[in-house]
A = this chain, B = another copy of it.
Amino acid sequence: MTTQQLIDQIQQKKSFLAVGLDVDLTKIPQHLLELEDPIFEFNKAIIDATHDLAVAYKPNVAFYEAYGLKGWTSLQKTINYINSTYPDIFTIADAKRGDIGNTSAMYAKAFFEDLNFDSITVAPYMGKDSVEPFLAFKSKHTIMLALTSNEGAFDFQTLNLNGKELYKQVLEISKNWKNSENLMYVVGATKAEYFTEIRKIVPDSFLLVPGVGAQGGSLAEVCKYGMNANVGLLINSSRAIIYASNGTDFADKARTEALKMQQEMEQIMSLKFNV
C-alpha cells in the first residue's frame, strides 16, 4: 500500500485508528476456546465489527509466537483474512525486528513477502544496515522505534548525546538512509509533549502512536502536538477495544469502543481541517 492510499483511507473513514490484535487466550471470551482456532475466530469477529472504523490492524507478533506453530497459523490466517476481505486496510506486523543486513533481509522476506504485511516495526539499535533491507521493499513501510510508550523509554532513548537525546538522533540520522521515504516512527502517546520537537525533525512522516487508553495517553494531546496536514498519525488501541467485553457480545462492545475513538477522531479532524 502506498502512503497516499493510506491517507485516502483516513480521509474517507475520518479515522486514523489502528486496532492492536494482541490476543491472549486467557483474556478472550471463553466460549471461543471450543473452536478449532480461537485466536483467528476472535480476530475475525473483531475485524468484521470494526473494519469501517479502523484504518489499520496491528497484530503483535509476540502474542502469536507464544503459541508456537498454532500461533503462527493464526497469524497467517488473520493477515490473509484482512488482505482478502478488506484489502484497503493497512496492516502492521508489530515485530520490533532488526539484525545484521542478511538477517534483516530474511525478516523482511518473512513479513513483507510470505505474510504480505504492509509494514513492520523495527528496532534502531543496530543502525542503518539493519533497517535498509526493510526499506528496499516498494510500497511497504518500516516503522522504527523512536520514543516508546513504556517506562524503559527513559533508560536510553532520552539519554543526552552531545546536547541531543538519542531518540532525536535516531530520527535525524535515519532520514538519510536509502529509501527513507518508506520510514514511519513509533512515538508513544504517553509522551505527548515530545511531539512538538519530533515534528520539527520529521514533519511529514507518519507516526504510529501506542499508549492511548490502557497506558494513559490522551488522544487530544497527541493530535494537538503531533498531527500534520495529512493527519500523519496512526493511533493504536489494543486492550480498550478488543477486551471491552469478555462475553458473547465482545465484538459488539469492541465496535462501541472503536466507534467512540473514531468519533473523537472525526471531531478532531473537522476542527483541524474544517471538513
Give chain A's interface residue range (CB within 8 Å of chain B): 35 or more
Of the candidate stretches A7-15, A28-36, A154-162, the one touching chain B is A154-162
Interface flag for A107 (CB, 8 Å): yes
**Chain B hits for A124, CB < 8 A:** 125, 155-156
Number of copies of this kind of chain in the complex:
2
Interface flag for A99 (CB, 8 Å): yes
CA distance A107 to B94 in the complex (A): 13
Interface flag for A103 (CB, 8 Å): yes
**Chain B hits for A97, CB < 8 A:** 62, 96
CA distance A63 to B114 in the complex (A): 13
CB-CB under 8 A for A169 and B156, given A66-B110, A97-B62, A124-B125: yes
| Residue of chain B at shortest CB distance from A128 | B152
Report A's interface with B, CB cutoff 8 A: 22, 24, 60, 62-63, 65-69, 72-73, 76, 94, 96-101, 103-104, 106-107, 109-110, 114-115, 123-131, 145, 148-157, 159-162, 166, 169-170, 173, 210
